[in-house]
Structure 1
Amino acid sequence: MSTYMPNDYVNQQREHIVQTYRDLHDLAEPSWKEEKTSHYLQERLQEAGFSVHTFAGHYGFVAEIPGETTEVVALRADMDALVQEVDGVVKANHSCGHDAHSTMVLHTALALSACQIRPHKTIRFIFQPAEEKGEGALQMIRDGALDGVTMLLGVHLRPSMEVPYGKAAPVIVHGASTSIRGVIQGLQAHAARPEKGKNPLEAAALIIQALQGIRLQERCPFSVKITQLQGGGETSNVIPERAEFTLDLRAQTNEGMAELKEKTAHVLHTVAALTTTCVEWKYGSYVPAATVNETMIKLTEEAISKVLGPENVADRCLTQGGEDFHFYPLEMNGLASTMVGLGCDLKPGLHHPHMSFAMESLVYGTQILSNAVSEAARA
């Protein structure tokens, strides 16, 4: 039996933890293409004696520390990077912290293994693809990666304005989000004779205006906004035949999202009838709102307090950002889950091409996860 406790072991691994992060940051691969990232993580675990289970058709995988029972406590990391423009070049770029999440979950596994933690429950480490597309969690569920899991933890870096540096929140209350991609089909005409045409751009303007008037009975924070609009060619004196648009929809609850979708659809139907244009649309990727579990919040509060002190347990982190982590409790009936919000001096914000954060947070983030997971496995 090792004489080390996880916190002590993690402290000794500071340089290795930071180097792991740098390695993963440089690999940066988009959703469903996380080949090098996955292989890197698998090799590190196999070197430590873990048996790794992979799945056909993607690069997600799981590794376990066997327990005395088949009941499973799981810790999840996401592996994919965003595809975005960075200094004029479109490329895969880790600006959402998934490289940091994978680093902390990897080193939590290594710490618990090195300290020879002997859990009552089996501990499973889930490395998930395609979070940015909102598809990876559902795929891992279909593949059986959540079989036997009764408790699930996750972690996400938080911007400074949400969780201060040196603190951590026991839960991130994400909202639900989806998108709508649509086409407005009008009638082309000369700009000097607008009455002969049906202007799809004017229809789009009416849509934008009408969306601003939406109110929800659910009384939760929400937003619906246009994020893309394209129509017409290079000629300035022609009313275009069609316009393409994208809407972003967000609501703090799943009930609010259902109402927002209904009212947005009503706006699109109404504008189409008013302008006699044809408006066709379909929903894009969807992620549900968080499911708050008080037992898991208490467990993570205790882990944060043990590592950072009770004064550094932050309030619940409320954000309209989305996360496909919340498919797990939604789809797996009875699954208790929470996601730790890690204060890390993250600036200027998530998804910014030059996002940065304090490396020290990787160390105390790993300690928090190690304490929370080991305690859950003893429960």
Structure 2
Amino acid sequence: MSVQAVCDDLAGKQREIIRTYEELHQLAEPSWQEEKTSGYLAARLRQAGLAVRTYSGHFGLTVDIAGEEEGIVGLRADMDALVQEVNGQVQPNHSCGHDGHSTMVLYAALAIASAGIRPKKTIRFLFQPAEEKVGGALQMMKDGALDGVNVLFGVHLRPIMELENGTAAPAILHGASASVHGTIFGLQAHASRPERGKNVIETAALLVQVLQNVRLKEGCPFSVKMTQFTAGGETSNVIPDRATFKLDVRAQTNEGMDELLEKLKHLFYHVGSLTESRIEWSLPGGVPAATFNDDAAKIMRDAISRVLGAENVASPCISPGGEDFHFYTKQKPEMAGTMLGLGCGLYPGLHHPEMKFDKTALTAGAQILATAVLLAAGEEEG
């Protein structure tokens, strides 16, 4: 069967693809708890005669379609859901589209398997846990899921303000992001004698003001905002001596993130010195920025053109959001990698509790992904 025949097969399964998405949508599970989701995907893959590899300690899984030559082309999906408030109740909710990503990668695997294609290079399908908590990609690499992979593709639904429905981008250039956790130590005093204390709330207020004046060289887009703050007890007449805060830190490039974190280091020291307080901070997590790979993007651009037409190939998406997919390419710089940005009429936006999109776009996404991995694995028409 040809690449086009695989796409035709997927086109005939649109209702089935949407039904699978809706079933996965109901299985929304938090990071590291994707047991039902993983089990559902594994069962579908095994029914197609594919050997599923599972891993101890988490619910990630991989499937290989063996090739004739050395080299492995990978296709990755994320499985976890966001935990957020929906209609007054905090619960797992697929508002980032990971259920859609798993659906598309699943059907790309099923279509290629049912076609009986023996690609030149092995094709590996990866279903990753814990993207939302930024640990899944690193764990999959630690467990050897990326061993031997030379090319890696991913996918993410894009909001309508980035991509129109019916279009797709050959790369998503996510920025770097980090979470900074800090503690301010002051001196407690009675509120009637503020001069005897060191008010951590006033220190935090100064910190917020100073953060607004941070600039990066060469105009790199960035953001640093205080998103959480806690200080004091239940009484209103005590100067608090301890406060905790969290900062959301973002920069469009990895070099910009390094510069920003170095500036924060000096800023914390000087604000603390000015207010005679002490600021301690840590960096518990973050994700690197995307690195554009022309080779992988060319393959994805070709795949989009074949499925949607050349007129519907968009420019790479530039997103201030973060994605742990980029750990793969940062840790393995010799590996070509890119993420498909799929236009699907998504609104009001990613992570919105009532996020909606055109489900028929999942079929086109599966066609593009199947085409990309087959092209990268050496399969051509005929």
TM-score (norm 1): 0.98
**Structure 2 counterparts to residues 221-236 of structure 1, below 5 A:** 221-236=221-236
Task: Check conservation: 1:303, 1:368, Cα contact below 8 A.
Answer: yes
Distance (Å, rounded) in 1 between the aligned partners of 2:313 and 2:117: 25
Structure 1 alignment gaps of length 5 or more: none
Please name the residue that 1:295 is paired with: 295
Q: Distance between the aligned counterparts of 2:332 and 2:182, measured in 1?
A: 32
Mapped partners of 2:43, 2:145: distance in 1: 19
The Cα of 1:236 is off from its aligned counterpart by: 2.1
1:165–1:42: structure 2 CA closer, same or farther, 3 Å change rule?
same
2:286 is paired with a residue whose SS is: coil
Mapping 1:236-255, distance limit 5 Å: 236-255=236-255
Aligned: 1:260 with 2:260: yes
How far did residue 278 of structure 1 move? 1.7
Instruction: Give distance in 2, aligned partners of 1:250 and 1:40.
Output: 35
The count of residues paired between Structure 1 and Structure 2 equals 379
What CA distance in whole angstroms lies between the structure 1 residues aligned with 2:364 and 2:74?
Answer: 19
CA distance in structure 2 between the partners assigned to 1:217 and 1:3 by the alignment = 46
Q: Residue 7 of structure 1 corresponds to which residue in structure 2?
A: 7
User: Which structure 1 residue ranges, 4+ long, deviate > 4 Å from structure 2?
Assistant: 1-4
What amino acid maps onto 1:95 in structure 2?
S
Name the counterpart of 1:339. Answer: 339
- Give the aligned partner of residue 366 of structure 2: 366
Q: Is the 8 A contact 1:218 1:256 kept in 2?
A: no
Q: Which residue is equivalent to 1:180?
A: 180
Offset at residue 86 of structure 1 (A): 1.0
Which residue matches 2:136? 136
Cα distance in 2 for residues equivalent to 1:117 and 1:314: 30
- C-alpha distance in structure 2 between counterparts of 1:61 and 1:113, whole Å: 17
CA contact (8 A) 2:184 2:277 kept: yes
- How far residue 2 of structure 1 moved from its aligned partner, in angstroms, is 8.9
**Contact persistence 1:346–1:356 (CA under 8 A):** yes
Q: CA deviation at 1:3?
A: 11
Counterparts in 2 of 1:3 and 1:55: CA distance versus 1, 3 Å: closer
2:97 and 2:157 in contact (8 A); partners too: yes
Aligned CA RMSD, in angstroms, stands at: 1.3
After superposition, give the CA deviation of every residue in 1:33-55 in whole Å (9 maximum; x if it has no partner). 11111010000000000001111
Q: Deviation per CA, 1:224-255, whole angstroms, max 9, x where unpaired?
A: 11111111122222221211100011011100
Paired residue for 1:323?
323
- Secondary structure of the residue aligned to 1:77 is strand
Alpha-carbon separation, structure 1, partners of 2:232 and 2:22? 45
Q: Provide the C-alpha distance between the structure 2 equivalents of 1:49 and 1:70, rounded to a whole number of angstroms.
A: 23
Distance, in Å, in 1 between the alignment partners of 2:80 and 2:245 is 27
Cα offset for 1:295?
Answer: 1.1
Q: What pairs with 1:107-186 in structure 2 (closer than 5 Å)?
A: 107-186=107-186
Determine what percentage of the aligned residue pairs are the same residue.
59
Q: Which runs of 5+ in 2 are unaligned?
A: none
Aligned residue for 1:244, secondary structure, equals: strand
Report the Cα offset of residue 70 of structure 1: 3.1
Q: Offset at 1:218? A: 4.1
Q: Deviations over 1:166-202 (max 9, x none)?
A: 1000000011000101111112222221111111011
